[in-house]
């Protein structure tokens, strides 16, 4: 038997809602309102899940890209098949914020090179692999643009060494400085300004040769050590006397977030994969 009733607490001028109580059921049922309520709850719950899935997919693609470049020695030992896989993984990540304006606050900072196919960097890595008296350590790009809107300064930093004369991997630092301007949504133009060598860290063997620890160190030997430790050579790229601009380059920053930076040298100059590093003091 079905029992129908109306709530008597409603005012007479308000439309009453009739509920039905069915046998063997403890639930109040409304014919149309419950289905609408369920649909509303479903639409609210699905939207965050899609965003979460998208973020997980992006992180997985970034992880796959880093796995693809892991055994390539920063691009030096990459085979044709590996380069193809890396290009596919790179394009997959690039699609996530393609066309979005550059965020200077996110770009600002130090980025460590994980992979490149740029010939001017690969030849440096090849030289270190072939020459026993030359080593290349970490390679960084440091952007200084936090408070800028349309440009800033970029410094390409290469740690290098000469075995037995300088400390391993970080015996000296080569810094190539350039100014850059944002010329479109994602393109920047670099104007190289200066090349310098700094932070000379001589090896213990060389220190012992210049100033043996078992003998009294003379003023001259101490001066030589101090000179080597503080040595800095600077070569300007721009020639102010002729008024000519220095060599520059156009780069497309194809992806940027808090921990990854991807770029392409326009004109077939290679691709770059960077990850965020600790701040670098120069």
- Report pLDDT for 268: 75
List pLDDT tens digits, range 180-208.
Answer: 999 998 999 999 899 998 888 876 665 66
Bridging pattern class, strands 260-265 and 271-276: antiparallel
Question: In which band, very low, low, confident or very high, does the pLDDT at 212 lie, cut at 50, 70 and 90?
Answer: low
Question: In which band, very low, low, confident or very high, does the pLDDT at 30 lie, cut at 50, 70 and 90?
Answer: very low
- Report pLDDT for 4: 42
133 within some domain? yes
Rounded Cα distance between 138 and 278, Å, is: 12
Rounded Cα distance between 227 and 200, Å, is: 9
List pLDDT tens digits, range 88-100.
Answer: 999 999 999 888 8
What backbone phi and psi angles, to 5 degrees, belong to 75? 110, -15
196 within some domain? yes
Q: What CATH number is given to the structural domain containing 267?
A: 2.40.128.280
203 within some domain? yes
94 within some domain? no
Q: How far is CA 110 from CA 63, 141, 258, 279, 281, in A?
A: 20, 6, 11, 6, 10
128 within some domain? yes
Q: Which residue has the higher pLDDT, 213 or 56?
A: 56
Q: Which of 113-117, 122-126, 148-152, 264-268 has the highest mean pLDDT?
A: 113-117
Q: What is the mean pLDDT of the chain?
A: 78
The greatest distance separating any two alpha carbons of the chain, rounded to the nearest whole angstrom, comes to 113
215 within some domain? yes
User: How many degrees, rounded to 5, is the angle at CA 262 between CA 260 and CA 267?
Assistant: 170
**What pTM, to 2 d.p., does this model score?**
0.72
Q: Which residue has the higher pLDDT, 262 or 212?
A: 262
48 within some domain? no
Question: In total, how many domains does the chain have?
Answer: 1
42 within some domain? no
Task: Name the residue range of residue 167's domain.
Answer: 100-235+247-276
């Amino acid at each position: 038997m079905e029992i129908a009733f109306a709530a008597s607490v409603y005012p007479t001028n308000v439309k009453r809602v009739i509920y039905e109580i069915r046998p063997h059921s403890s639930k109040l049922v409304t014919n149309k309102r419950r289905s609408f309520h369920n649909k509303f709850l479903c639409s609210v719950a699905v939207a965050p899940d899609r965003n979460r899935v998208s973020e997980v997919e992006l992180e997985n693609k970034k992880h796959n890209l880093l796995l693809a470049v892991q055994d390539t020695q920063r691009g030096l030992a990459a085979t044709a098949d590996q380069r193809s896989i890396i290009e596919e993984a790179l394009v997959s990540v690039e699609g996530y914020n393609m066309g979005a304006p550059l965020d200077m606050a996110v770009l600002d900072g130090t980025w460590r090179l994980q992979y490149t196919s740029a010939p001017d960097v690969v030849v440096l890595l090849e030289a270190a692999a072939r020459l026993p008296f030359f080593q290349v350590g970490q390679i960084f790009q440091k952007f200084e643009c936090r408070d800028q809107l349309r440009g800033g300064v970029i410094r390409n930093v290469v740690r290098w060494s000469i075995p037995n004369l300088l400390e391993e991997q970080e015996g000296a630092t080569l810094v190539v400085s350039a100014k850059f301007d944002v010329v479109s949504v994602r393109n920047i133009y670099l104007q190289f300004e200066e090349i310098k060598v700094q932070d000379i860290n001589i090896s213990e063997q060389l220190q012992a040769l210049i100033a043996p620890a078992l003998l009294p160190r003379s003023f001259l030997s101490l001066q030589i050590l101090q000179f080597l430790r503080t040595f800095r050579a600077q070569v300007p790229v721009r020639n102010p006397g002729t008024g000519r601009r220095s060599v520059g380059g156009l780069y497309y920053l194809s992806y940027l977030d808090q921990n990854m930076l991807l770029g392409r040298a326009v004109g077939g100059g290679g691709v770059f994969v960077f990850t965020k590093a600790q701040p670098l003091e120069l």
